[in-house]
Amino acid sequence: PGLEKFARRLESAGCGPRRPLRARCHGFPQEDEKLPALQPGVRHPQPCGHRLLLGALRPHRAYVRDSETVHYHYGPKDLVTILFYIFITIILHAVVQEYILDKISKRLHLSKVKHSKFNESGQLVIFHLSSVVWCFYVVVTEGYLTNPRSLWEDYPHVYLPFQVKFFYLCQLAYWLHALPELYFQKVRKEEIPRQLQYICLYLVHIAGAYLLNLSRLGLILLLLQYCTEFLFHMARLFYFADENNEKLFNAWAAVFGVTRLFILTLAVLAIGFGLARMENQAFDPEKGNFNTLLCRLCVLLLVCAAQAWLMWRFIHSQLRHWREYWNEQSAKRRGPAAPRLPARLIKRESGYHENGVVKAENGTSPRTKKLKSP
């Protein structure tokens, strides 16, 4: 009895037998705990395995809207993720250059100018092809093609699915890695301004769609743009292999103008008409809402100016190529010029002629030759 009383006193003082220590992971319930019911729009703890799986792409805010889908919001941690994928992209760029493009260019025996353009087009063909396949898969699985109204409905699109957010971060990483690649690839000084223009143009449009919560519209526009660019760089590769092969250039010229028209139409439809009819037209950066008249006009002006600039460069290059082509054709029609025969040298006697009579230099007639009598 005395021992029982002593044990009760220890338990009442908090010194009784303790439960065994167990490693506890946030998100996994213990034996005596129950799983909380998942509710739409409510944040719930995530298991350790899921957090380790998304360690490289840790969200700024993670929200679970149902039992399976996790949505992400952009934040300052995205910069670390982009930096990580920049290094991966540089490694992949070097692998493609060494094991694929260098071997092909050695067989073609290209000049230095054509060699640099061949490397540029070869890298962009692989990137555009993978981006087109990836973007098309995301657009189809998310249902943006079957429901065009989703491009502007429920704006702002603050919470992104994993595949949409990952796609945008990889796109930003690729075009940012293209800046140091200008130095690594030893690009000529004449080519640097042209490449910087395209790199900055892509970065502004992709980052603008990502930060202004226009990710759905940005996916469709990128899909159209990348299809055109893939066709153009494929035409360049075939041209370097065979200079007489210009069929792909003609196909690209036809697709280019149609793509500009589609991009402008979608931008005006989604931004100019779709967002203009939304009820929540207020400037609220905390909630990610930029649906104001000024913001819509700035976005439309940027898209229209970019498409007009691309179209002007396209028309200018086409006119130059047509002028060179017609000059070659006109030169062929004229045929080779007949070679000029050298003028026969006529030996004249000294002096000058006057009324058909040769005069000496002092004005007197030259002496007649005496004929010897036989």
Structural contact between residues 283 and 292, judged by C-beta atoms closer than 8 angstroms: yes
Using alpha carbons only, how large is the chain's radius of gyration in Å?
A: 38
pLDDT at res. 30? 46
The sign of the dihedral angle between the CA atoms of 193, 196, 200, 201 is positive
Residue 243: inside a domain: yes
Q: Residue 153 forms beta bridges with which residues?
A: none
* pLDDT at res. 286: 87
Residue 221 placed within a domain: yes
Query: Domain total for the chain?
Result: 1
Nearest residue to 246 (alpha-carbon basis) of 264, 234, 228? 234
Asked if residue 285 is part of any domain, the answer here is yes
Q: Looking at the domain assignment, is residue 10 inside a domain?
A: no
**Contact (CB, 8 A) for 215 and 157:** yes
* Mode of pairing for the β-strands spanning 352-354 and 357-359: antiparallel
Give the pLDDT score at 52.
35
Answer whether residue 305 is part of any domain: yes
Q: What is the pLDDT of residue 47?
A: 45
153 lies in a domain? Answer: yes
- pTM of the full predicted structure? 0.72
The number of beta carbons lying within 10 Å of the beta carbon of residue 81 is 19
Question: What would the pLDDT profile of 45-77 be if each residue is shown by its tens digit?
Answer: 444 444 433 445 554 445 544 456 788 888 899
Place of tokens 């957090």: 51
Domain containing 215 equals 74-326
Counted residue by residue, the chain has a size of: 374
If we measure between CA atoms, which residue out of 197, 7, 175 comes closest to residue 85?
Answer: 175
Residues of the chain with pLDDT under 50: 18-55, 59-61, 64-66, 374
**Alpha helices (H) in 162-214, listed in sequence order:** 162-184, 192-211
DSSP H helical ranges for 39-161: 48-53, 78-96, 102-108, 112-142
Contact between 349 and 358 (Cβ < 8 Å):
yes
DSSP secondary structure letter of residue 260: H
d(CA 344, CA 347): 9
**Pick from 189, 198, 186, 71: which is nearest to 127 by CA?**
198
Assess if residue 185 is contained within a domain.
Answer: yes
At 23, is the secondary structure helix, strand, or coil? coil
Question: In the prediction, which pLDDT does 109 show?
Answer: 84
pLDDT at 189: 87
pLDDT, position 299: 95
The SS3 call for residue 277 is helix
Alpha-carbon torsion angle 92, 95, 100, 103, nearest 10 = 150
Provide the pLDDT for residue 55.
44
Q: Is residue 238 part of a domain?
A: yes
pLDDT in tens, 113-151: 888 889 999 999 999 999 999 999 999 999 998 898 999
Alpha-carbon span 82 to 131, nearest angstrom: 17
